[in-house]
Each structure stands twice: as C-alpha cells, then as structure tokens.
Amino acid sequence: MASQQQLLDAVKLASETWKNAFNSGDAAGCAGQYEADAVMHARPFGTFTGTDEIRGFWEKLIADGFSDVEYIDPNFEIVDDTSVLLTSGWRMNNAQGVIHRELWVLQADGKALLRDDDFEAK
C-alpha cells in the first residue's frame, strides 16, 4: 500500500504529465492519463466516456488553437488509500474556468490515472 505522500506524489506527477502533454499538443498523451472507462464532463461541451472519446475532445480543442494551460491554486484532497480529488482554477491562452473534480486513482503499477474529470470553461 502506498503512503499518503507516495499517493500525492503520484497524482502530482500524473497531473503534470497531463498538462505537459496538452501544452505540447499531444492529445493522445492527454487521453493516456485517463482510465480506459473514465468519464469527463467538459462544461459546456458535453460528456465524454472512455479514452477514445476523451482523446477526440482534446484533439479538437488543440486543433482549435487552445494551449498553455496552467492550474491556479490547485488543491489536493486525499479521499482514501488510492485516490485523490484535485480541484483548481485554470487558465490558458483562449479560455479560463474551474476544475470541479479530478478524481485521480492509483493503479497497480503505481501510476495515477483520472477516473472522473469535471471541469468548466467560463
């Protein structure tokens, strides 16, 4: 079993990996940070289920010129021995908003993946 610090470190690394993929225009890399059957609620765009639909969303957003995402005052809350809830404000070159819920779950290999993603563009 991972310690709380190991869990937080895995989630922070996974979150940075996602942001780096997005900022380098790598939609497949973004989708690779989600569990296979993850659900993403992207308000007001819709709900996307599974890594194929999620990858398609990020491909379109990147193709539309969105980039340079950064999180503003992220908060990491340990839920249990294997999961962490991340909430944060965010901004990028063409939009800003709020992350209502990123539920990161530690996998058997020690890496964290997103199971549930709920964010809003304002």
Query: Taking the domains of the chain in order of start, what are their residue ranges?
Result: 4-121
Q: Residue 40: is its pLDDT beyond 80? A: yes
* pLDDT exceeds cutoff 90 at 31: yes
pLDDT tier, 1 (very low <50, low <70, confident <90, very high otherwise): low
Q: Specify the pTM.
A: 0.96
Q: Rg of the chain over CA atoms, in angstroms?
A: 13
CA angle 90, 62, 116 (to 5 degrees): 55
Beta-carbon neighbour count of residue 28 at 10 Å?
A: 11
Give residue 2's pLDDT.
72
How confident is the model over 92-105, as pLDDT tens digits?
Answer: 999 999 999 999 99
48-65: per-residue pLDDT in tens?
Answer: 999 999 999 999 999 999
d(CA 114, CA 92): 20
Residue in the block written with tokens 């190991």: 6
> Average of pLDDT values for 8-26?
97
The pLDDT mean for the chain works out to 96
Candidates 2.40.37.10, 3.40.1190.20, 3.40.50.2300, 3.10.450.50; correct CATH number of 4-121? 3.10.450.50
Quote the percentage of the chain above a pLDDT of 70. Answer: 99
